[in-house]
Amino acid sequence: MGVDAHASLLDHWGLDDDVNGLDYFANSVIDAAEGLVGLVKPQVSFFERHGSAGFAVLERITHRAKDAGLIVIADAKRGDIGSTMEAYLDAWLGENSHFYADTLTVSPFLGLETSTALMGQHLENGKGITVLVATSNPEGAALQTARTESGESIAAELWGKLEKLNQISSAPGDRFGSFAAVVGATLHFKRFGLELEQSGVKTPILAPGFGAQGAGLRDIRLIFGEASPNVIASVSRSVLEAGKQGLAEAIKRANDELAQGLG
């Protein structure tokens, strides 16, 4: 579940668009998520817009999520080269980070290797990264479907690199690797050149596009086929719009719909 404190959602909840409203909203989402979902995905921009006080809220709620047994995906979409990327990874995944995150969303378009080559100690500490491969926004398609010298689409080439990384970096018996891919649930995968069925260690798929963006959780197997068990189905607005009082029930309904789709 996303922790996406849109100004419009704060207003819908009857909250002020300030750091106090942000704090109440974010903590309410963590409270509702505990025991009902496996992962939460704070969208960093909605905290960052409130400055240092917003980041302080993010620090607190990521550690609260960890203590509640939730896996935390920091949705920051960082991507750079050399020492700059090293600093980003340290900020979000480092042992002494002020934030807590199990994985960080990463933009690969300055070169995937600038992130993966720096992951050594973070992998040993149980961390991972989640790489933008084929995103659900229409504007991304022109770049992600462009062909490389090999004839593959950029999305397919990134997917292949993540598959290889997960095979070589995983321990015997691992079901999933530490390098995940963002693949939108509203996409026509053939257009992107993607074949998502896998053998061996699986590449986890973080799938936005469910709920408010149009894809139905009950259709997950129709959308992802044999890869469905490897999909993290991400929902935000469609659940969060229920408000604090209705949030837990909205999560349960989403879980029921997902179970129907996987059944």
Biggest CA-to-CA distance, the chain: 53
In 3D space, the residue among 168, 85, 180, 197 whose CA is nearest the CA of residue 134 turns out to be: 180
- CA distance linking residue 190 with residue 162, whole number of Å: 18
Catalytic residues: 77
Pairwise CA distance, residues 115 & 78, whole Å: 9
Backbone angles phi, psi at 19, to 5 degrees: -65, -30
Which tokens belong to 80?
Answer: 């750079």
What is the number of other CB atoms lying within 10 angstroms of the CB of residue 71? 16
Task: Give me the residue label for tokens 């590449």.
Answer: 203
CB within 8 A of 72, min separation 6: which ones?
A: 39, 40, 41, 42, 62, 65, 66, 100, 101, 102, 103
Dihedral angle of Cα 243, 245, 247, 248, to the nearest 10 degrees: 180
Three-class DSSP labels, 196-241: CCCCCCECCEEECCEHHHCECHHHHHHHHHHHHHHEEECCCHHHHC
First to last CA, the chain: 21
Query: In this structure, are residues 217 and 235 in contact, taking their beta carbons and an 8 Å threshold?
Result: yes
